[in-house]
């Protein structure tokens, strides 16, 4: 990805000045830092950022500038990246399956917290010399409720196994914690509170006093115009459930937002390459920054602008959207409402595109070369 140094006030100013034919992602540092402060001020515990949602250096740099001091990392590359920018940040290595070489690398980079969901992985940490006094968080999973898709399908011990693992964590001299991930884009506080109640049961069954409880990510972003992500209610729900479950022995809380931290700070500008009746051919698609749309549903946070900067305002018309590759899977499922006066050469601006966009882009068929630019504001005043 190339990072443009030129500074433009808004995406519109950039598009008018540069007339880019390739997709461009616009980052607003102000929006990103404001979101980070919302988490730091509102969440009742330590806020760590899940790097996989968007590992861009400008993103990480702005989160550090806003005061984020902990990162949820899942691979040696993520560990090395965060360390290169933040020599003292807390690194929580929460991919519960690791090779011995990965454990050695992570230990050398000062990882202080590790998650496990199987006995073999816990013994591996001990065998690889992970120091006593490090935190080991046992990851557990419940049948999913309220998430856009299920993270528990891959990782997470049953509550019974989690209790056994937690007792073993203490025996091995590690600091005991529990962790879970309720799924992504969860709207209801209940997605977290059900897990917090079970965490208490697991700790009780293990006879262990938890030092920390990591409530994962899953906080919602604004994916549609009508959505108001209820972050405040979720923070209150988490604080209230922890207090109700643990009373005076409440563990310290940790969260690891990815999507909700970064989504709102980036808008994506795509260009209309061709129009054939109701069919629109764009310069990016599901192998690029729109990878999530088939899984999560298409966002309606769309604006269309003519090359001279005029907003298109024709009646909303159902369109079929194709990406640029020669693969017939490369389309947005269903129809998408776009202005009737849209034309070849127009720009389609999509808001709320900071998470799982640049992170998963491929170079399939030679596309996917996303440009990134910094702007003062994402919308016109």
Ligand X SMILES: *Cc1c(COP(=O)(O)O)cnc(C)c1O
> Is residue 94 at the binding interface for ligand X, with CB under 6 A as the rule?
yes
Strand partners, 157: 140
Least distance from ligand X to the Cβ atom of residue 154, Å: 9
Query: Which residue, 191 or 272, is less far from ligand X as judged by CB?
Result: 191
Q: Residue 131 gets which letter from DSSP?
A: P
Query: Which residue, 93 or 322, is less far from ligand X as judged by CB?
Result: 93
Q: Residue 294 to residues 14, 223, 262, 318: CA-CA distances in angstroms?
A: 29, 13, 20, 17
Name the pairing type of β-strands 347-350 and 266-276: antiparallel
Query: Which residue, 229 or 323, is less far from ligand X as judged by CB?
Result: 229
| Contact by Cβ (8 Å): 42, 235 | yes
Least distance from ligand X to the Cβ atom of residue 375, Å: 23
Q: Residue 263 gets which letter from DSSP?
A: G
Query: Which residue, 198 or 259, is less far from ligand X as judged by CB?
Result: 259
Interface mask toward ligand X for 237-266; x: CB under 6 A: -------------------xxxxx------
What phi and psi, each to the nearest 5 degrees, are found at residue 290?
Answer: -100, 20
What phi and psi, each to the nearest 5 degrees, are found at residue 360?
Answer: -115, 10
Site for ligand X in 261-320 (CB under 6 A): none
Least distance from ligand X to the Cβ atom of residue 328, Å: 30
Query: Which residue, 92 or 303, is less far from ligand X as judged by CB?
Result: 92
Site for ligand X in 154-173 (CB under 6 A): none
Site for ligand X in 49-68 (CB under 6 A): 50, 52-53
What phi and psi, each to the nearest 5 degrees, are found at residue 316?
Answer: -65, 125
What does the radius of gyration of the chain's CA atoms come to, in whole angstroms? 22
Least distance from ligand X to the Cβ atom of residue 360, Å: 12
Least distance from ligand X to the Cβ atom of residue 199, Å: 15
Least distance from ligand X to the Cβ atom of residue 301, Å: 18
Q: How far is residue 54's CA from residue 115's CA, in Å, rounded to a whole number?
A: 21
Vertex 247: Cα angle to 242 and 251 (nearest 5): 55
- The single residue among 124, 181, 303, 319 that binds ligand X, judged by CB under 6 A, is 181
In the numeric block, the tokens 């997605």 are attached to 191
The stretch near ligand X (CB under 6 A) out of 210-218, 234-242, 271-279, 360-368 is 210-218
DSSP 182-246: --BS--STHHHHHHHHHHHHHHHHHT---SEEE---------STT----HHHHHHHHHHHHHHHH
Least distance from ligand X to the Cβ atom of residue 353, Å: 14
| Structure tokens belonging to residue 110 | 């000062």
> Binding-site residue total for ligand X (CB under 6 A)?
17
In the numeric block, the tokens 């192998």 are attached to 287
Least distance from ligand X to the Cβ atom of residue 296, Å: 11
Interface mask toward ligand X for 68-87; x: CB under 6 A: ----x---------------
Query: Which residue, 53 or 253, is less far from ligand X as judged by CB?
Result: 53
Residue number with the smallest Cβ distance to ligand X: 217
> Is residue 354 at the binding interface for ligand X, with CB under 6 A as the rule?
no
Which residues are at the interface with ligand X (CB under 6 A)? Answer: 50, 52-53, 72, 94, 181, 184, 216-219, 256-260, 355
């Amino acid at each position: 990805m190339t990072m443009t140094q030129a500074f433009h006030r808004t995406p519109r100013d950039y598009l008018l000045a540069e007339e880019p034919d390739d997709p461009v992602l616009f980052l607003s540092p102000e929006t990103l830092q404001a979101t980070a402060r919302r988490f730091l001020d509102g969440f009742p515990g330590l806020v760590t950022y899940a790097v996989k949602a968007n590992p861009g250096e400008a993103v990480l740099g702005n989160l550090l500038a806003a005061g984020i001091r902990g990162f949820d990392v899942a691979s040696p590359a993520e560990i090395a990246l965060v360390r290169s920018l933040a020599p003292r940040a807390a690194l929580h290595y929460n991919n519960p399956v690791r090779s011995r070489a990965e454990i050695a690398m992570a230990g050398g980079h000062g990882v202080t917290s590790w998650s496990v969901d199987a006995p073999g992985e816990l013994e591996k940490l001990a065998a690889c010399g992970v120091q006593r006094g490090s935190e080991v968080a046992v990851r557990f999973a419940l049948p999913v409720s309220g998430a856009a898709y299920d993270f528990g399908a891959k990782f997470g011990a049953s509550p019974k196994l989690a209790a056994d693992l937690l007792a073993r964590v203490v025996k091995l001299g590690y600091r005991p914690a529990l962790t879970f991930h309720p799924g992504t884009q969860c709207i209801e506080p209940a997605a977290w509170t059900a897990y917090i109640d079970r965490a208490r049961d697991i700790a009780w069954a293990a006879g262990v006093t938890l030092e920390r409880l990591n409530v994962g990510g899953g906080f919602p972003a604004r994916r549609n115009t009508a959505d108001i992500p209820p972050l405040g209610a979720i923070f209150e729900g988490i604080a209230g459930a922890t207090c109700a479950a643990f009373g005076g022995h409440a563990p310290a809380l940790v969260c690891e937002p990815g999507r909700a931290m970064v989504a709102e700070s980036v808008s994506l500008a795509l260009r209309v390459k061709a129009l054939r009746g109701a069919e629109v051919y764009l310069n990016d698609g599901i192998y690029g920054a729109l990878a999530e749309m088939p899984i999560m549903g298409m966002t309606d946070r769309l604006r269309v602008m003519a090359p001279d900067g005029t907003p298109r305002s024709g009646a909303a018309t159902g369109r079929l959207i194709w990406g640029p590759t020669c693969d017939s899977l490369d389309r947005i499922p269903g129809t998408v409402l776009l202005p009737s006066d849209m034309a070849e050469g127009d720009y389609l601006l999509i808001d709320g595109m900071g998470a799982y966009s640049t992170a998963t882009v491929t170079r399939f068929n030679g596309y996917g070369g996303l440009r990134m630019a910094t702007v003062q504001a994402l919308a016109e005043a």
